[in-house]
Amino acid sequence: MADSTSDAAADEGAATDAGDSDGPEIPEIDLPSDAFDAVLDALADRSDDDPLRFEGFAVVVETDGDDTTAGEAVYRLETAGNGPLTELSERGLHAALTEHAPAVTDWYVFEHVVGEFGPRRAFLRWIEDADGETVDARYAALAEGIERAWGELRITATITDRGERRYDVRHADDAGVPVDELNAYDDPLDARDLVTLDEKGRYRPLKTAPSLAGGWVFPDLGPRDAYEAVETIYPATVANWHREREGELDVTNWRETMARQSGIYGVVKTWDRGEGHEHVNWVAEACCDDSQCLKRREWEYDDETELDVDGGEGVFPCREPCSVVVSAARKWTKLESEQPRTYEFELTPSEKEQVEAIIDAVADGRIDDIREADTKEGANRYRTRFLRAKLFDDEGNLAGVPTEPDGEGEE
C-alpha cells in the first residue's frame, strides 16, 4: 500500500490548485461514485505512458509502484502548476479527484452520459460553449443558468451539485414564466403533439415555420432527453447544423431535386424558363424567407448558378428544397402555364396603393396585427370591405370585369 503521507499530499496538493478565488465563483461539486468508477475503468485500459487527461491535469497508472506487485493499482496525478502526486492508492486518488470534481464530472458527463462524438455531443457542448470556455467558467455560468436560442426555443442549461446537467426547454415567448403556469412534460416524445398545430389550432405542415405555439415546458431534462426534445420539435436541424460545422453538409440543389420528382410532381421538371431562372427566385423569395422558415437556405439553382434571393439568417441550414417548396412549385408551375391577358379597370391612386398594402399584409402574415379601428391602414378589414363593396359586382368580379372574356372558357 502507498504510505499515508502520499494520500495526505494528495489532499493538500489538489486543494492548492482549487484554492484560487480570483476566477469565477464555482459551485460546490461532489464527486459521484459513478464518475469515479468511470475513471478507474478508463485507467484500467491504459498504461503509464497513456494518461487519462482532464482539464488542467492528468492521471496515470504507475507500473513501477510497490503496490502493483501486490495486486493493487497505484496512481499518479500530474498538474501543470504543481509537482505530481505519486504512489496514490485508490483512496488517495479519490481524495485528489474530489478536489478536482468539476473537471472530473465534466469529463464524465460528455464521455459517459452524452457519449458519441456526433450531433448530440456537439450540440450540448455548444450550449455551454464547452470548446471555448474553461470548466470553471462554464460551471460558474451553469450555476446561474446558460440560455441559448434554437429557432423559437429557449434552452436553459443548469448544473446540480454532482455536476449533472439539467435542461429547461420551452418556447422563447415563455421565457421567465414560472413552470407551474405552463403545461409541463417530461417525455421528449410528447413534443410531437406540441408541434402539430399553431396557436390558432391550424396544422403546421412545415415544422421549422416560425409558428410554434407556446404554453408548455420540459422543465427538467437530462442531456439525451434534451437533445431528443429539440430534434423532435425541429427534426434534423441539429444533425444538419453539425454536418455543416464538420464541413460535411450535403446540399442538393433545385435542378437535382426537381429532376427526381415523379407522378403528379413530375410537372415541376417542365418549369425551367425565364431569364436567370427567375421563377426559382420567386419560389425562394416566397417560401425560404426568415418570416416563413427558420432554416437558412443553402441550396441554389445548381452547382454553377446561385439564386439572387438571400438565404436567410437561421442558425440551422436547409440542404435541399423541402416538400412544402416542391408542393408549392407544382401548383405555381400549373398556374404559370396560363397565357397572360390584359384586363382594364379603373382605380384611384389610393385604391391602387390599398391593393398593394393588402397583398403585402397577407404575404407577410400581418393581417392579425392590424387593428380594426385603424382605417388608415390599407389592409384594415373595414377599409378592405369598403373597397369590395365599391368595386366588386354581384358575381365577385373586380370592377365588374369578368376573368374569362365572353365566350371563352365555355364548352
Contacts of 211 (CB under 8 A, 6+ apart): 198, 199, 204
- CA-CA-CA-CA torsion sign (382, 387, 392, 397): negative
Q: Is 268 helix (H, G, I), strand (E, B) or coil?
A: helix
pLDDT score of 160: 96
Cα three-residue angle 144-146-148, rounded to 5 degrees: 155
Angle between helices 119-127 and 237-245 (to 10 degrees): 90
DSSP result, 117-155: SSHHHHHHHHHTTTTTS-HHHHHHHHHH-EEEEETTEEE
Grid cell listed for 114:
452524452
Q: With respect to CATH, is domain 251-336 assigned 3.30.70.2320?
A: yes
Backbone angles phi, psi at 293, to 5 degrees: -150, 140
Q: Over its length of 411 residues, how does the chain's per-residue pLDDT go in tens digits?
A: 334 334 434 444 443 344 445 556 888 999 999 999 999 999 988 877 889 999 999 999 987 655 444 567 899 999 877 678 889 999 999 999 999 999 999 999 999 999 988 999 999 999 999 999 999 999 999 999 999 999 999 999 999 999 999 999 999 999 999 999 999 999 999 999 999 999 989 999 999 999 999 999 999 999 999 999 999 999 999 999 999 999 999 999 988 888 877 665 555 655 555 555 778 888 898 899 998 999 999 999 889 889 999 999 989 999 999 988 888 877 777 776 668 888 888 889 998 999 999 999 898 888 888 898 888 898 998 888 888 888 888 888 888 888 887 655 444
Sequence ranges of the domains in the chain: 4-107, 115-243, 251-336, 341-411
Which pLDDT value is given to residue 179? 97
Name the CATH topology of 115-243.
Gyrase A; domain 2 (3.30.1360)
Q: How far is Cα 42 from Cα 51, in angstroms, rounded to an integer?
A: 10
Residue 169: per-residue pLDDT: 98
Give the pLDDT of residue 331.
Answer: 79
358, containing H or E segment = helix 349-363
Q: Distance (Å, rounded) from C-alpha 336 to C-alpha 332?
A: 6
Angle 86-88-92 from CA coordinates, rounded to 5°? 135
Long-range pairs, 39-44, Cβ under 8 A, ≥24: 39/93, 39/97, 39/104, 39/108, 40/90, 43/73, 43/75, 44/73
**Given this model, what pLDDT does residue 368 score?**
85
What pLDDT is recorded for position 119? 96
Task: Note the pLDDT of residue 16.
Answer: 39
Q: Can you tell me the distance from the alpha carbon of 324 to that of 321, in angstroms, rounded to the nearest whole number?
A: 8
- Do the two domains 115-243 and 251-336 of this chain adopt the same fold? no
Nearest of 88, 99, 6, 110 to residue 40 by alpha carbon: 88
Query: Does the predicted model carry a pTM greater than 0.85?
Result: no
